[in-house]
């Protein structure tokens, strides 16, 4: 099994999109990319921790490629809005790919370049591509939030 970590706005909808992929073994939502240890949702919402709301995806690379996961990431948010997705504003809602190894970094960078050159967006893609750091799991009530409430999605697009 491999891990992939993505930030694309509110983590509830992002998690639901990845959970719909049969080769995804598990997901967990949390906070990463910031400087505060053991952040809470309340901490992250202050927009002062540097953390992004993110989803850690455990997947079977024999059944789904990292490139395919990236396509789900790109398709489920607007990568041209800086620190914002729809009505959610703040650095915690930024678009970011947190790579776990050099191969993921290379595929992520190539994917971003390809998308930027595709003409799909009129504005520049602002998605950050950064090394994965400590992933702090969010509170239990955030895990599979939409699924627990019988909702299909809350993503912006």
Q: For the whole model, what pTM was predicted?
A: 0.91
pLDDT tens readout for residues 72-94:
999 999 999 999 988 889 999 99
Backbone angles phi, psi at 3, to 5 degrees: -115, 150
All structural domains of the chain with their residue ranges: 2-148
- Among the listed residues 4, 7, 10, 29, the single catalytic one is 10
pLDDT tens-place string over residues 95-134: 999 999 999 999 999 999 999 999 999 999 999 999 999 9
10 is catalytic: yes
Q: Does domain 2-148 have CATH number 3.30.1060.10?
A: yes
For residue range 31-71, list pLDDT tens digits in order: 999 999 999 999 999 999 999 999 999 999 999 999 999 99
């Amino acid at each position: 099994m491999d891990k992939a970590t993505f930030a694309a706005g509110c983590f509830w909808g992002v998690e639901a999109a990845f959970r719909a992929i049969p080769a995804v073994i598990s997901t967990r939502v949390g906070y990463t990319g910031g400087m505060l240890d053991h952040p809470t949702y309340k901490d992250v919402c202050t927009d002062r921790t540097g953390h992004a709301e993110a989803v850690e995806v455990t997947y079977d690379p024999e059944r789904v490629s990292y490139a395919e996961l990236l396509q789900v990431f790109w398709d489920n948010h607007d990568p041209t809005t800086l620190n914002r997705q729809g009505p959610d504003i703040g650095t915690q809602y930024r678009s970011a790919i947190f790579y776990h190894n050099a191969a993921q970094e290379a595929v992520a960078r190539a994917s971003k370049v390809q998308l930027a050159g595709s003409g799909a967006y009129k504005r520049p893609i602002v998605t950050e591509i950064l090394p994965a750091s400590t992933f702090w799991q969010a509170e239990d009530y955030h895990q599979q939030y939409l699924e627990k409430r019988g909702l299909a999605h809350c993503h912006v697009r």
